[in-house]
Amino acid sequence: MNLHSPGTWIVVLAVLAVTVWVLHKIGKALAGVLEALAALFVVWLALMAAVRAVVWLGRQLVTRWRTTLALLLGWAWCSFLGWVSLVVTAACVVFPLVVWRAVAPVRFDHWCGRHLRAWWLRWTLYGRKLPAWLRACGLTVADESTPVQVTVNLVGRRRRALTSRSAGSSPEVAVPRIVGVRSGASWDEVRVELVPGQTPEDVDEAARALASARKVSRCQVRELAPNVVSIDFQRRDLLASPVACRALPDLGGSQSHGVDLRRVWAGRTEYGADWTVPLMGPGAHLLVAGASGSGKNSLMWSPLVSAAPAIRAGVIRLSGIDPKGMELSYGRRIFARYGATGKEALDVLDDLMDVMEDRKREFAGRLRTVPISTEHPLEVLEFDEIGALTKYTDRKTREAIVERVALLNTQGRALGMTVRGYVQEPTKDTVPVRELFTRRACLQVTAKNQIGMVLGDGAYERGAWANRITDPGVGYVWGEGLREPLRIRAGWTSDNTVKALENYVTNGGTHVVDLAVRNENTGGRAA
């Protein structure tokens, strides 16, 4: 090709012009296609956003039906009657509610206040802030195909932080969803649905952090279902003031005891409800642990005061072992059997063993549970300072006492025998039969590890912070029938009340037979 020839350049320019023209046409066609695709993509995004908005709105309308109904009623009222009538009507509704709350606050809170408070807290507090608290506490699950999981150490605890390798990208994080809020007199219960990959134990471990985030003193996590937990925040402490024990009935009243021995009033719970304990049946064997001055005597005397009509009628027969010789001796006359020394304690236990053997012979093959009556009363053993005789005594007496207490705990429930023990040092060496008590209460203790000794492993992590208790009679209960530690305060029983109980039981009531007198009259231990 001759580059100097004019014809050659004409051909080259013609080819270039045709190429540019073709590329221009192709570019215009591609631009049209890309514009159409972009328009379709924008329409698809808008459609997906609209669908999501409709789904979200529908979910809000269904799950928050009270708010939806209130808004619809307000809109309809304003549309037909105007704003002025709505304001006047609202004032006419609010004013009686304010008066009701001032006159009868408890009844108002039960029927109206707690529902309004739960609605308000869900919209203004938990719905807005709880997701952020859950993220801050590491209670989220991310799609591991996008982010990289990194483990960091924060204040001695392992937390998961989710980050992404790619710059500018954020991981897809799933946060537990709030499914309901309930508000009581002192607690808020936020029901949360966990996301796949989470367990209730994960939320349990973050209870302390959630309490700090909410700026409250306590947070407790309860498992409602495998994928639903209730995160309970304590707004105020209803157990800060002493709880008075039940009043004794009038001496001139009926002899019919009318006491439900499976639900005997003993105090108040942290939720403001009555706390009851069983004196017979499942969970009746109770071990109470607490330091000196923690109020163990309240858990001892308060149920006895509540069950006074049954004791007076002879349906309950009490036995007492009091190594200290001070606590139970103050109400000595209500106990059919009483012992202070190791030998006297063995006499009491041996007599109870004889009663148990007699009932075995009488009811074996006929009934599975002994019917409680005045003929076969419920035998309740109050064993104060149990560690003094199960550890701090001679070996022979110690082994004999431990053996008899173990037999009463393992065989006594169906035979109408109940053991209630009280100890300061809840170690296994001090109370070898500790695990045989089906229900246990932990009052103020001096060491954190003692909480697990009494209530079992994981009790402290579940909110049983007994080492922080400062008020006597306040403690935690965990045992048969209870899935989470329950904070309680036993009814306080004064010295005058104990003497009044003694007078009520013995003045015209059932005749209390003193074991020592009976042994003296029969020339030895009663058969």
- Give kind and range of the element (H or E) at residue 178: strand 177-183
**pLDDT value of residue 166:** 44
Tokens 């236990």 appear where?
A: 349
User: In terms of DSSP bridges, do strands 439-442 and 286-289 run parallel, antiparallel, or are they unpaired?
Assistant: parallel
Count other Cβ atoms within 10 Å, centred on residue 402: 17
Tokens 């309308």 appear where?
A: 61
**pLDDT value of residue 255:** 52
Q: Which domains does the chain have, with CATH numbers?
A: 264-522 (3.40.50.300)
- Give kind and range of the element (H or E) at residue 16: helix 6-63
Q: What is the pTM of this model?
A: 0.67
And the tokens for 234? 């304590």
> Do 311 and 318 meet the contact criterion of CB atoms below 8 Å apart?
yes
**pLDDT value of residue 266:** 94
Residue 344 to residues 328, 408, 496: CA-CA distances in angstroms?
Answer: 14, 17, 27
List the chain pLDDT tens, one digit each, 527 residues.
555 666 676 776 777 777 777 777 777 777 777 778 888 888 888 888 888 888 877 776 666 666 677 777 766 767 767 766 767 667 777 778 888 877 777 677 777 888 888 888 988 899 889 999 999 999 988 865 544 444 333 334 444 444 434 444 556 788 999 998 988 878 899 999 999 989 998 998 899 899 999 999 888 888 888 899 999 998 888 888 899 999 988 776 555 567 899 999 999 988 788 999 999 988 889 999 999 889 999 999 999 999 999 998 889 999 999 998 888 988 888 999 999 888 899 999 999 999 999 999 888 888 888 889 889 999 999 999 888 888 878 888 889 999 999 999 999 888 999 999 999 988 888 888 888 898 999 999 988 889 988 888 878 877 788 888 888 999 999 865 666 788 899 999 999 999 999 888 887 655 454 545 545 554 444 33
Contacts of 323 (CB under 8 A, 6+ apart): 340, 341, 345, 384, 385, 388, 389
Count other Cβ atoms within 10 Å, centred on residue 421: 26
> Do 505 and 512 meet the contact criterion of CB atoms below 8 Å apart?
yes
Gap between the Cα atoms of 306 and 309, Å rounded: 8
Gap between the Cα atoms of 277 and 319, Å rounded: 18
Tell which phi-psi region holds residue 421, choosing left (phi > 0), alpha (psi between -120 and 50) or beta: beta
Gap between the Cα atoms of 139 and 414, Å rounded: 46
